[in-house]
Amino acid sequence: MTSVRIPGDWPTTEGAARAIQDGLRGRVVLDEPGPPPGTGRVTGVDVAYDDERDLVAAAAVVLDGASLEVVAEATAVGRISFPYVPGLLAFREIPTVLAALDALPCPPGLVVCDGYGLAHPRRFGLASHLGVLTGLPTIGVAKNPFTFTFTAPATPRGSTAPLLAGTEEVGRALRTRDSVKPVFVSVGHRVGLANACAHTLALTPAHRLPETTRRADALCRRALREAVGADPGTDRGTDRGLPSGPGRTGDRGPRARLDPPDRP
């Protein structure tokens, strides 16, 4: 497992973080269909936190697209780089996720994120951000509709309904199991929405959530437990390789929520 250092120029304020999103948004590629489902590799990434100890652990798990067997995995641990702010999730997850992806012994192929891509107040969610930074095809599969609206998809697995920001379809509510609450799929980078949904279905043969995120979730939680509960005995005065970066943003009291969508 590798450790992460937060970049010295990492944003400290919400305004700076939003400005970065606005500056990078134009680099998202939306006109590529992306790799066909059931082929190549598909990688799940996820993150777990221990706010008390200021720790974050990320995992990247590579699956064979056809068999869904695990091909490779990697984890990374670091300090929390940003507080949770709706709309700015990427700044909390990206440094550690990038480190985990870098630690993989093979190319990730399509990356499946836990969260959103295009379905974002500024159309630049975690999946989009990660895609632009890595150049990899990415999609986002979220468990909640965030601030978007949708009508319930039909009962059978595979049914979809548009995820809407007003009248704009920013993603799709996709039923991955009969009669079970849908997941919310949106495009990240270099993948089309229909293909993103097809991938999500290919990754959900038995559960509501994609095998990629299930595997990554289990692995990052384990990595966090091990990073916390490790060797409480011998090496007292020694640190555990966790660098102290510029530090995270200070606590914020009750705050205003998301800014209204800036693209009417």
Partner DNA sequence: GCGACAG
Partner DNA sequence: ATCTTGTCGC
Taking the complex as a whole, the smallest distance from the CB of residue 169 to DNA amounts, in Å, to 17
β strands within 51-150, DSSP E: 55-64, 70-79, 110-114, 138-142
CA neighbor of 208 nearest in space, from 185, 190, 186, 189: 185
Question: In angstroms, rounded to a whole number, what is the distance separating the alpha carbons of residues 41 and 39?
Answer: 7
Taking the complex as a whole, the smallest distance from the CB of residue 258 to DNA amounts, in Å, to 4
Taking the complex as a whole, the smallest distance from the CB of residue 145 to DNA amounts, in Å, to 7
| 178 annotated ligand-binding residue | no
Taking the complex as a whole, the smallest distance from the CB of residue 199 to DNA amounts, in Å, to 17
| 54 annotated ligand-binding residue | no
Contact 110, 191 (CB under 8 A): yes
Neighbours of 54 (CB within 10 A): 15
Of 87 and 109, CB closest to DNA = 87
What character string, x for contact with DNA (CB under 7 A) and - otherwise, covers 45-84?
-xxxxx---------------------------------x
Q: Report how far apart, in Å, the C-alpha atoms of 37 and of each of 48, 132, 177, 192 are.
A: 28, 21, 18, 12
Binding site for DNA (CB under 7 A): 46-50, 84, 86-90, 114-116, 120, 125-127, 140, 142-144, 146-147, 217, 221, 224, 256-258
Which residues define the annotated binding site for Mg(2+)? Answer: 46, 114
Which residues define the annotated binding site? Answer: 46, 114
